[in-house]
Structure 1
Amino acid sequence: MRYRSRVTAPAAALIGTAAALTVGSTAYATPGESSAGTGRPEPGPGPETLADPVFPALGNDGYRALAYHLDLAYDATTALVEATTTLTLRTTQALTRLSLDVLGLDVRDVRVAGRTAAFEQAEEKLRITPARPLPAKAVTTVRVTYTADPRRTLPYTAWVPTPDGFAVCPQPNAAHTVFPCNDHPSDKADFTFRITVPAALRAVASGTLVRTEDLSGGRTAYTYRPRAPIATELVQITVGDYVIRNRRGPHGLPLRDVVPAARAEALEPALALTPGLVEWIEARLGAYPFETYGLLPCNSDDPNAFDFTGLETQTLTLYKPNYLLQEEQKIGSHMMHELVHSYFGNSVSPATWADLWLNEGHADFYGLLYRYERGWADSLGLTSLEARMKDTYARGDQWRTTSGPVAAPNAANLFDSQRYLGGVLVLYALRRLIGEDAFHAVERTFLARFRDSSASTEDYIAVASHVSGQDLSGFLRDWLYGTTTPRMPGHPDWTVTPVPPSPVSPRRRADAHRHENSATL
């Protein structure tokens, strides 16, 4: 894992301060001053990878992101977005060149510490050569000006075009189709968003509204700032004909739903469920970790726009409107699944994409508990977690053959059932072994220890061992990395279905993060 000190100043203030600090020559190594004889390494290009086990080309090293300021202007006539992203970063080594993740953006200008920088776009990297090398441990800004077309055809994209604007779904590896970034959940940063739109439309982003500006030409600019840092894959920016529905959750928590104006009344029964959902999960995992929560049923039911049900962008969950028009027992457990991601996935993000089971296993675990407490049968007709886990246990070796161990996915099977229900099975086994009280203590301790940061599977194992007072490393590693399914504590009668002699090959899931394997089953 890579850690950085939390930045407590607002992102906008950081950007201004960093620019003031780094525009002068003190931000650079003076030409002709070699590192020879000083014990410091010579400046060089930063690595263009963070060596993620699932997406090895994703992310960049040599620096850590501190803050992003996104300034986007949407043109409803052309559907184009004119944008400037300003990244405040701290170098971890002396750099002659650094890189950002970029795909499908037409970059026009790059400046480092206010000075024009040379750049090139190569595959999914934006390589930036500042006017002078950057010393190690320097804070500086990188400003990128570009144009984006939300309707552009790309191998993959975060843009969700709608008839009246767009939303974004960056998970797992597509934020860099919206803005230049260090696109990896281990490098969380503070954000501000300023979005300019025609006055007839509304712009919303992660966090809370801090400023509204009425501009000339019948345009309005909205500025949003989240209180907590965000992983790039969790950013939400949306534009459309929306109304904002505000209500209060437990302890006065502000709840904000962003709803298509034409469907606001029809969606109200689903939106009204949120306060009760928050109250239920707070009783188990503690206080909701952010300053606001709400739903974004963006104005598109087009299966070609996005073919998943929900996506947990930070402080807003993206949904298809039609899905939320169903009765409570059809949607309640999935709404809980997405809410749980505020804790597992958003507040505590995965250190690598191999740690996805921490997100999805926990979201399904509590989503299923919520379902069964209400007596709602699942798609198999089962009405208890024990019955569902017995069925899942029987599939264990088959899933390990076709989808790999729970904590060892690849890009093709990242969002298979193994990360969802397979993750639930691991948590169920842990709870059976250490007991209900110790399990809840593990959950809360893990969330508190890694709040606003990222954590790995090994971090979870360490917390579980410490809190339970017993070495659980062997037990949990067998469940998470073993090629065969371990015995279930307390259930010696449970059996695993034998794997056929010629197992089918793992099939690629093109519906990444579609939650078809989640608590809706």
Structure 2
Amino acid sequence: MRYRTRVTAPAAALIGSAAVLAGAPTAHATPTTRTTGTSAARTSGTPGPETLGDPVFPALGNDGYRVAAYHLDFAYDPATRTVDATATLRIRTTRALSRLSLDALGLDVRAVRVGGREATYEQVDEKLRVTPARTLPAKCPVTVRVTYTADPRRDLPHTGWVDTPDGFAVCCQPNSAHTVFPCNDHPSDKADFSFRLTVPDGLRGVATGLLVRAESLEGGRTAYTYRSREPMATELVQITVGDYVVKDRQGPHGLPLRDVVPTARAEALEPALALTPRLVEWVEARLGAYPFETYGLLPCNSDAPDAFDFTGLETQTLTLYKPNYLLQEEKKIGSHMMHELVHSYFGNSVSPATWADLWLNEGHADFYGLLYRYERGWPDSLGMTTMEARMKDTYARGDQWRRDWGPVAAPNAVNLFEPQRYLGGVLVLYALRNLVGEDAFSALERAFLARYRNRSASTADYIAVASEVSGQDVSGFLRDWLYGTKTPRMPGHPDWTVTPVNPSLVAPHSRRGGHYHDNSATL
């Protein structure tokens, strides 16, 4: 759902082939501790706080360090359907650490090294606690390497794996990247990424970013190395293995477009894939140059209802889709394809500072997706053909949605992906545009994207940019719209009314508590 471009230093030193695959045990339900290396006196330093303070997912992350880069080395064995992996993290401590933790769930960890030395580790709940041989000083750059085995089919409370008949893909949003690789699993800690994917001949390994090289190995295997030129949040990583063909085409200004398509369905999917260049042209005219090095679609090789319970997901530079969805005519899929592309700007290039800021991603993606639809006269899911009609309908539901799902910018883990973050966010943007005018709105949107490119930004950051660029203090106006328990008056439409709340009515929830728009209820 997004794309951007920046050249950075290599994400991490590439490491060698993964070790021999090991059988995957059951997930750790109780602490498992392994002690290696030498013990050393630790007279200074404390364990890093096992949180980054997210209001929606407070258990995510560790505040004792930040990650500069990840290198993920995966070897897929189709006989066992498992992945033998090594994750190498380059981190920088924020304080003296006697212990640090990585988010990790369902990974069979075999060894951990910190700064080249074997380390003690234990897996407790969704944390991999690592005690280095020596205390790490504050502001210290160090490498952490974790060797493990993962099974994409493992039954977990939540998972980022998509199991397919010929391999796997990943969909980690919002809090499941750490079921795929150990990480500081929060969008505020963006990092560089590189990948090495070893697969048997006949399968293709693809990841976020651009292909660096493909190496033929002994035993009928090929190793594909990819590197992302832009920093990325953990939730946006894409890694896939399957019987794919990679289709290249050119987008505006020479932008490389690449689609990763099941070989058997490549011809049938071509009409949908061919829409991308025009979509990029449209969004660039409104939000500026596409921000990444490439863009494309990954209709992964599974239409199983339980493979993943949404239609599309904006994994960086390579949007994940169910193939059957893309077999529909353009007016059925065009606005959703725009929604996912807009995420290249809002959500990927500029990531949310916390998960409470999700409306910045989804509200903007729906806003531009609906504009694209209505410009073409395509009826939406309610049969409406104008933004004004849709916003009047949404406005009438405002108080009921605030009662059922909370204010737009105040979600919790249960209602995070309900319509309030999507159409509720669109309504806020529509109100802001009505207040400041279309030219000022366009200017503040571009200014926000430019200021926070390759970074994370909060709702407060957006409010500040909106006030600065529009030339008027809109902080109170936006706070009322984003955090109020009652729907404010709509600028330019004093006749619009809100339907009174029905205490006995509970609005229907999205199918997964996630990606409401992907269930065709919004666009």
What is the TM-score of this pair, normalised by structure 1?
Answer: 0.93
Q: Distance in 1 between matches of 2:139 and 2:363?
A: 37
Aligned residue number for residue 20 of structure 1: none
Q: Tell me the distance in 2 between the aligned counterparts of 1:331 and 1:519.
A: 13
User: 2:8 corresponds to which letter in structure 1?
Assistant: T
State the Cα distance separating 1:199 from its structure 2 match: 1.0
Q: Which residue of 2 aligns with 1:288?
A: 290
Q: Distance in 2 between matches of 1:356 and 1:406?
A: 9
Over 3 Å counting, the alpha-carbon distance change for 1:32 and 1:48 in structure 2 is: closer
Which of 467, 472, 475 is matched with 1:473 structurally? Answer: 475
**Within 5 A, what are the aligned runs for 1:78-227?**
78-227=80-229
Which runs of 5 or more structure 1 residues have no equivalent in the other structure? 1-5, 17-29, 35-41
Give the 3-state SS of the residue equivalent to 1:153 in structure 2. coil
In structure 2, the CA distance between the partners of 1:464 and 1:518, relative to structure 1 (3 Å rule), is farther
Instruction: Provide the C-alpha distance between the structure 2 equivalents of 1:158 and 1:13, rounded to a whole number of angstroms.
Output: 25
| Secondary structure of 1:93 counterpart | coil
Look up the match of 2:8.
Answer: 8
- d(CA) in 2 for partners of 1:14, 1:201: 22
Aligned twin of 1:21: none
How much does 1:515 deviate?
Answer: 2.6
Higher relative contact order (Cα pairs below 8 Å, separated by 6+ residues): 2
Match of 1:23 in 2: none
- Deviation of 1:319 (Å): 0.3
Deviations 1:443-490 (A, max 9, x none): 000000000000000000000000011111100000000000000001
User: In the comparison of the two structures, how many residue pairs are matched?
Assistant: 496
Partner of 1:403: 405
Match of 1:303 in 2: 305
CA contact (8 A) 1:333 1:520 kept: no
- Distance in 2 between the 1:225 and 1:382 partners? 43
Q: Is the 8 A contact 1:7 1:66 kept in 2?
A: no
Check whether the contact 2:381–2:521 (CA below 8 A) recurs between aligned residues: no
Aligned to 1:445: 447
Q: Kindly tell me: are residues 33 and 149 of structure 1, through their superposed partners in 2, closer, same or farther at Cα, counting changes over 3 Å?
A: closer
Distance 2:250 2:376 in 1: 23
**1:67 aligns to what?**
69
* Structure-1 residue corresponding to 2:262: 260
Rounded to whole Å, the distance in 2 between the matches of 1:187 and 1:340 is 21
**Structure 2: segments with no counterpart, 5+ residues:** 1-5, 17-38
The residue that corresponds to 1:389 in the other structure is 391
The 1-side partners of 2:519 and 2:79 are apart by 39
8 Å CA contact retained: 1:333, 1:519: no
CA contact (8 A) 2:52 2:63 kept: yes
State the one-letter code of the partner of 2:291: P
Which residue identity lines up with residue 81 of structure 2 in the other structure?
A
> Contact conserved, 1:186 with 1:454, CA < 8 A, in 2?
yes
Counterpart amino acid of 2:409? A
Listed one character per residue, the Cα deviations across residues 295-333 of structure 1 (whole Å, up to 9, x for unaligned) are 000000001111210000000000000000000000000
Q: Secondary structure at the residue paired with 2:157? A: coil
Give every structure 1 segment of 4 or more consecutive aligned residues whose post-TM-superposition deviation is greater than 3 Å: 13-16, 30-34, 501-509, 516-521
1:442, 1:467 within 8 Å by CA — same for their partners in 2?
yes
User: Which amino acid is the alignment partner of residue 59 of structure 1?
Assistant: G
Could you tell me which residue of structure 1 aligns to residue 3 of structure 2? none
User: In the aligned structure 2, how far is the partner of 1:117 from the partner of 1:451?
Assistant: 36
Q: Find the aligned partners of 2:401 and 2:208 in 1 and give their Cα distance.
A: 36
Letter aligned with residue 298 of structure 2? L
TM-fit CA distance, 1:143? 0.2
Change in Cα spacing, 1:218 to 1:13, as seen in structure 2 (3 Å) is closer
Alpha-carbon RMSD across the aligned residues, in angstroms, is 1.8
Instruction: Measure the CA separation in 2 of the matches of 1:386 and 1:195.
Output: 48
SS, match of residue 12 in structure 1 = coil
Q: Which of 484, 509, 512 in structure 2 is aligned with 1:510?
A: 512
Amino acid paired to 2:300: C
1:329 aligned partner: 331
